[in-house]
Amino acid sequence: MTVKPVIALIGRPNVGKSTLFNQLTKSRQALVADLAGLTRDRQYGDVHFDNKSFIVIDTGGIGEGDDGQGNIDDYMSEQSYTAIHEADSVIFVVDARAGITPADSQIAQFLHTLGKPVWIAANKTDGVHEASIGEFYELGFGEPQPLTASHGKGVSNLLEIVTADMADDDEVIESPAGLKLAIVGRPNVGKSTLVNRLLGEERVVVFDMPGTTRDSIYIPFEREGRHYVLIDTAGVRRRGRTTEKVEKFSVIKTLQAIKDANVVVVVIDAKEGIVDQDLHMLGYALDAGRAIVIAINKWDNLSQEQKDMVKIEMDRRFDFIPYVKIHLICALYGNGVGNLYPSIHKAYDAAMFKVSTSRLTQILQDAVEAHPPPMVAGRRIKLRYAHLGGHNPPVIVIHGNQTSSLSKSYQRYLENTYRAVFKLEGTPLQVEFKQNANPYEGKKNPKVVNKARAMRQKKRIASFKKRDKKR
């Protein structure tokens, strides 16, 4: 048995790496726009082709702007070089229209020092003469593969060459699926810093500038024998402040990441306090039915007076989610970050809990006996049985008659009863009510015939007929 190979997409900014990534993975996982430097972090995806599969890494560009002065281009390049070292082989993406640039030559020189297999993917060949592609032979990696990633042209040929020596899927060990953990919040609240702290490495680009993270980055990792998929997301601002087209797509990707996650960690900046947009983020997670953990970041930099004010705000503004665990952390120095994992596990276990129908029904009967539902039009509401209807979030379905007339307060009573019995922490709980159908609805009552009366009627009719004959 072999492990899935890993291939990194490397090249200058805006040569089409993310477009090729989407074509290879047959998804729209990577954010794509005609803007240099859009991709800033490593993005992982699965590729399946002709009964073979591998993991592909999309990277930010390595360009001439990397001057070592600590700007964001340097951080992007660092992520790209990390991906090269992680990968088993490399697809070097170049721009066929632009030809070989000094940055391409520099990247090629570095790749030659590694001794890893490298394939040249000459992108944007539409409208370019075939002879011009030949100049990429100078890079020293053999025949360049012409393609137009935006239209999918030439991608299959590239895949045939890349997967030629790979093992079939039945010989590959699949990596186990892990707990999907999304880190969400407003821009510049410390999401990427928290991701790096959870991972124990500088895995994503951290820069003191709102909007540094533009895409949702999926990062698989393992901790203490447990598998996770960490999702770093772009910050979500108020709709009125979301102006750039790219930023609007980033917000959509964040909302998709929330739906895709098992647990959502909502990061809040303690310095700025709890604002309405933080509550909107919580609302997105609740609407998606996801388990939630709240992390109040940058706590160490507050004065005691500021801490007291934030705690008052927490009690006031989070009263609608009493089941959610709140942590006071400092992601930069790691204070309190380790305490997030137990709450994440509890929230996940609560969201995925399993229980028998008989147990749910018994709890329902005990709750009804302790506090019967109010009567409706002189008739008693009968709640007969309950069963589990789904996970993430957990759904409990209760069957009975006249359930549509059940008051909201009584519905909350039953929800709180189940939550207390099973100690469900961090996850919303949906209690649905199904009204039993009336088997006689729409049917007419059968006509009841009195046999004695029918016989008398028959004799009477017969006597009238005899009289008519005599006449």
The answer to whether residue 16 scores a pLDDT higher than 50 is yes
Confidence of residue 64 (pLDDT cuts 50, 70, 90): low
**What pLDDT score does 409 carry?**
92
pLDDT computed for residue 1 by the predictor: 35
The domain locations on the chain are 2-173, 179-351, 357-435
- Quick one: average pLDDT of 300-309? 90
Question: Is residue 215 over pLDDT 60?
Answer: no
Query: Is residue 460 very low, low, confident or very high in pLDDT (cuts 50, 70, 90)?
Result: confident
Q: What is the pLDDT of residues 180-191, one digit of tens each?
A: 999 988 888 888
Flag whether pLDDT at 450 surpasses 50: yes
Residues 254, 233: contact at Cβ < 8 Å?
Answer: yes
Which range has the worst mean pLDDT, 79-93, 148-162, 254-268, 349-363? Answer: 79-93
State yes or no: pLDDT of 375 exceeds 90: no
Percent of the chain with pLDDT over 90: 31
Is the distance from CB of 14 to CB of 61 less than 8 angstroms?
A: yes
* Least confidently predicted of 11-15, 170-174, 271-275, 300-304: 170-174
> Is residue 44 within 8 Å of residue 229, measured between CB atoms?
no
Mean pLDDT value of segment 61-82: 57
**Of 231 and 215, the one with more pLDDT:** 231
CATH of domain 357-435: 3.30.300.20
Cα separation of 57 and 21, whole Å?
Answer: 8
Q: Which residues are CB-neighbours of 364 under 8 A, at least 6 positions away?
A: 383, 385, 386, 398, 414
The pLDDT of residue 268 is 93
179-351 shares the fold of 2-173: yes
Question: Is residue 217 predicted with pLDDT exceeding 50?
Answer: yes
Contacts of residue 341, defined as CB under 8 A and 6 or more positions apart, other chains included, come to: 223
Distances in whole angstroms, Cα of residue 229 to Cα of each of 178, 279, 466: 6, 25, 96
Q: Which residue has the higher pLDDT, 442 or 1?
A: 442
Does residue 205 have a pLDDT over 50? no
Q: Token pair of 316, please?
A: 């006031």
Q: Check: CATH 1.20.58.340 for 2-173?
A: no
> From CA 188, how far away is CA 4, in angstroms rounded?
35
Task: Please give the pLDDT value at position 251.
Answer: 67
Do the beta carbons of residue 168 and residue 247 sit within 8 Å?
Answer: no
Q: Please give the pLDDT value at position 318.
A: 92
- Taking CB atoms within 8 Å and a gap of at least 24, the contacts of 273-282 are 273/309, 273/310, 273/313, 274/310, 274/313, 274/314, 274/317, 274/318, 275/186, 277/186, 277/236, 277/237, 277/238, 278/185, 278/186, 279/317, 280/236, 281/184, 281/185, 281/186, 281/236, 282/321
- Pairing state between β 89-95 and 118-123: parallel
pLDDT, averaged across the chain:
81
| 231-235 average pLDDT score | 75
Write down the pLDDT at residue 252.
66
pLDDT given for residue 202 in this prediction: 56
**pLDDT digit string, tens, across residues 101-115:** 988 898 898 888 888
pLDDT at 28: 64
The DSSP result for 391-443, as a single string, is: TTTTEEEEEEESGGG--HHHHHHHHHHHHHHHT--SS--EEEEEEPP-TTTTP
Q: Which range, of 20-29, 378-387, 413-422, 431-440, averages the lowest pLDDT?
A: 431-440
Q: Answer whether CATH 3.40.50.300 is correct for domain 179-351.
A: yes
The CA-based dihedral angle spanning residues 22, 27, 31, 37, taken in that order and rounded to the nearest 10 degrees = -20
- 129-174: pLDDT as tens digits: 777 788 899 899 989 999 998 888 999 999 999 998 888 876 554 5
pLDDT band at 383 (very low <50, low <70, confident <90, very high): very high
Strands (E), 139-271: 145-146, 172-173, 179-185, 217-223, 226-232, 263-269
